[in-house]
Structure 1
Amino acid sequence: MKATYANSFGVLPDGCEATPVGYLERLQLQNRVFGDAIELEGVMEPGFALIRVITSQQAIQGRPAELDEIEIFFSQHGFKRCFWRGKSVWFRRLDRVICADTHGGNVLVTKGGDMAAIDVPAMLAPDDFEQQAT
């Protein structure tokens, strides 16, 4: 189980603060792209004008992935590394998905050698992404 901080839903790959809807879209993309099974459990209102989104996800035991392992993982999933808005991101042209914040804390290697993206911000690329990315 995981709960967001009150009115804090993370940052999307474009650098924008995520709205609750943006946060849920990100989780939906993570499910689709990486075969995860994150589920929405509910929304909590801890105070006036405050909300927290509650989700669940299977626990994954593993060590943080090394940079070369992360490169292999994203390449195997059809992504190419590029730079966009001053950040290193992964882009998959097939479905126009961008992933960011792909450090070892967000990509784990299990004892069996499998890899899992556990908290990778993802979003659909804007129409002009390929003109902006290098």
Structure 2
Amino acid sequence: MKITHPGFYGQYPVPRPDGTPGLRPATPLEYLDRLTLSNELFADDWRVEGVLDHPAGARMVTSQPVVVGERPTDEQVDVYLRALEFERIPGKSYFASLSRSLAVFDGHNGNFLRGQSGQIFAIDVIPVPLTAELWRAMEAARKI
């Protein structure tokens, strides 16, 4: 089970004023879209279990299957995401798939697990539609 902080639903990638990718607080709908995309991309089973009322803002309760494993290497994450048509922006923790028009942010190896069979599981990454603006920001970050 995972319970969001009151009124906080994770983060959402956006271009920063300097033209590189940054993160802003996600809306509840963006958070739900993220879970849906994770389920589709990674054959995951994120579920919304409910919403808790809190004076500081609603809290979403979600669940995800338990995975027993260890942190994969960056290379193992890259191989896994490459098989899904994503390429890492060199030196960054985000990936782009032009063929799918999607991006995956927060893709550091701490957000993946390698199960006992060697299979890689995405645990808490941020998949989003790859807009033209976001792609330009990712390309700008490549040059830094």
TM-score, with normalisation over the residues of structure 1?
0.88
Maintained 8 Å contact 1:73/1:115: yes
**Consecutive unaligned residues in structure 2, runs of 5 or more:** 15-22, 140-144
Higher helix share goes to which structure? 2
Listed as ranges, the matches of 1:61-100 within 5 Å are 61-82=68-89, 88-100=93-105
Counterpart in the other structure of 1:109 = 114
SS of the equivalent of 1:68 reads: helix
The superposition leaves residues 26-78 of structure 1 with CA deviations (integer Å, 9 ceiling, x where unpaired) of 1111011111011111111022x511011111111110111111111111111
Match for residue 128 of structure 2 among 101, 105, 123: 123
For 1:45, the equivalent position in structure 2 comes to 53
CA RMSD of aligned residues (A): 1.8
2:43 is the counterpart of 1:28: no
**Distance of 1:89 and 1:103 partners within structure 2:** 8
Aligned residues: 131
Q: TM-score, normalised by structure 2?
A: 0.83
Identity of aligned residues (%): 30
CA deviation digits over 1:67-116, x for unaligned, max 9?
A: 11111111111101227xxx542011222111011122211101111100
The correspondence for 2:67, drawn from 53, 60, 75, is 60
Q: 1:65·1:103 contact (CA, 8 Å) conserved in 2?
A: no
